[in-house]
Amino acid sequence: MGDDKVIELIGRIDRALARIEASAGRPAPPPPPPADDGGAAALEDAHRTLRARVERAITQIDRLIAAGEAG
């Protein structure tokens, strides 16, 4: 192998090493968000349903307390 080839290869190795060192100093990119398979929508529906049931139960409890205080 000629001296020119060796010098060219050393230069390529140096440039590759510089790229490796530069990328090692950067933080890794954040992972992509998980794909929504419809589970979030189902969870929101369940939350709304549960919230409505709790609100009705609280209203009923308030009525019972008020009736107890009046009687």
pLDDT in tens, 5-45: 889 999 999 999 998 888 888 888 888 887 778 788 889 99
Is the full-model pTM beyond 0.75? no
Residue 14 CA to residue 37 CA, distance in Å, equals: 46
For residue 18, give Cα distances in angstroms to 5, 31, 36, 39: 20, 25, 39, 45
pLDDT at position 1 is 55
Residue 15 CA to residue 22 CA, distance in Å, equals: 11
